[in-house]
Amino acid sequence: MLLGVPEVTPRFVGIDVLGTGCRVDASVSVMRYGERSDVLCLADEVSLYANTRLVLGDVVADPCVGIRIGARTIVNVGAYLSGEGGLEIGADVLIGPHAKLLSAGHAIDEGDWIIARNRITRARIVVEDGAWIGAGAIVLEGVRIGRGAVVAAGALVRQDVPAGMVAAGMFTGIHRFGGFVRSQHLFIAPADQQTVDLGGAQCRQARRFRFQQRPHFQQVEQRTRLRAEQVHQRRGTRMARQVGNERAPPLLGVDDAAPAQDAQAFTQRRARAAQLVHQAPLRRQRLTDLEHAVDDQPLDTLGHHIGELAPFP
């Protein structure tokens, strides 16, 4: 017994070429008008599941209009495939439920405020062999999905995805970061590495990068390093002058011209300086521990640890 899988279909209305062993559900719909052959072609063993929508529009409006699907490709339920600007899908491709591949749109800057009156924009979408378009993903016109690439569920893609890469979120372009590729709103990396945050998955290198880019982390680290250098430098000067039987200069902002009778204030500030000298290595170590903690804790818990450094003067 085989349930939930379309029957093998020898022919289907609206499909020009149907390979052997293709399965097309009876609820699949084709929107096309005009006379032209070889516009909608399916290779062998292609499966189109329930409520899939194939849109061609006017097949003679532009030579690029057409949908071609490679062998053994599976299009899951509720998918929307637009061939108005040309759609080429390779072999062994997986298209998840309710995914949308939109090869056409409407011009929005050509003078008429009624968008429907403006011209239709068209650009071919190419999905190469072995790629996977996740559930609910949207691929806009003119995009090429490389061989073996993955578009995560719910992603919006408007730039090419190179072969073997994973894209998630709003994929608008690629920017290199170390051994990884970082887009504007997401992290992507070679598909054989577990480096993409797909709605909560751990991503060690990417999470550390995001944590270290927080302004508060950078400010605390810079202030700690600067204070440590100042304290050690002034402490060395103080010890050198004491060897020469000279009175040590005030520390950390105490004016040399301050009244000598203000001994209590001088003593308090000197004690504070000694405390900073003692705490500086501990704070540097704390920052190092926080950096390592990124690997083992969710980002939403790291703010508590950063806050422990906030009182640093």
Amino acid at 203: C
The tens place of each residue's pLDDT in the chain, 313 residues long, gives 788 999 999 999 999 999 999 999 999 999 999 889 889 999 999 999 999 999 999 999 899 999 999 999 999 999 999 999 999 999 999 999 999 999 999 988 877 888 888 999 999 999 999 999 999 999 999 999 999 999 999 999 999 999 999 998 876 555 433 343 444 444 444 444 433 443 443 344 444 444 444 555 566 667 777 777 777 777 666 665 555 544 444 544 444 444 554 677 777 777 777 777 777 777 677 766 766 665 555 544 544 444 444 444 4
- Residues 50, 27 contacting (CB under 8 angstroms): yes
The b/e string for 116-154 (b: 16+ C-beta within 10 A; e otherwise) is eebeebbbbbbbbbbbbbbbbbbbbbbbbbbebbbbbbb
Q: Which helix (H) or strand (E) holds 279?
A: helix 263-293
The DSSP output letter for 190 is B
Residue 181: strand pairing partners: 176, 188
Judge if pTM exceeds 0.85: no
Specify burial of residue 81 (Cβ count, 10 A radius: 0-12, 13-18, 19+).
buried
The ranges assigned to domains in the chain are: 17-197, 215-307
**Which CATH superfamily does the domain covering 17-197 fall into?**
Hexapeptide repeat proteins (2.160.10.10)
d(CA 31, CA 19): 20
